[in-house]
Amino acid sequence: MNSDGQNEQQVVWAVVDSSIGPLLLAATGEGLVSVVFHATDAVRDQALDRLGSRLGTEPVEAPDSPLLAEAIRQVRAYFAGERHDFELPLDWSLISGFNRQVLRELASGVPFGKVVGYGDLARRVGQPGAAQAVGMAMGANPLPVVVPCHRVVESDGGIGGFGGGLETKRKLLALEGVLPEPLF
């Protein structure tokens, strides 16, 4: 507790190497709260500032924290091809409303190696015709890879957009066997 008698939220973070580049993982006592692609120093610093502002506390680098240990282990196993599902506590506090509903459905209802269309996902949450809103929810996903927004594609077979970049989305879909590995 702090001097005002409030529980202080602890936010810990670490950068993990992966086949798609460095990933920033951040966690609270509730669970994994953020995954950030391309976590170079500049991207990392900006993401940590934003995270600290949104959660009201300064994130602390703590790669050995018990709050991060299992997330780091599972992310590494996923990229090594040894894990298909994440079984982690997630802190959903950075997302709410429709976006949270869509992301929860995505996390529980679209398994490794499968894809879903934006419109299909909208129908699954009872909002047919909200394909564009689903796209916005994917762009707002604070937990990419773990909440697999890379598995959401266009109904006409197009790959769709991706906050981590289309090359990253292709690599993730190739890792899951949905797309062939790039030749070069």
Closest to 11 measured CA to CA, from 24, 20, 21, 3: 24
Strands 23-27 and 32-36: antiparallel
Could you tell me where the DSSP H helices lie in 58-96?
66-79
Q: Which residues are catalytic?
A: 149
Strands 23-27 and 60-61: unpaired
Closest to 148 measured CA to CA, from 180, 107, 100: 107
| Token pair belonging to 155 | 């109904």
Name, in order, each residue with C-beta under 8 angstroms of 24's C-beta and a sequence gap of 6 or more: 13, 14, 15, 34, 35, 36, 39, 43, 44, 47, 48
- Strands (DSSP E) found in the chain: 12-16, 23-27, 32-36, 60-61, 116-117, 152-153
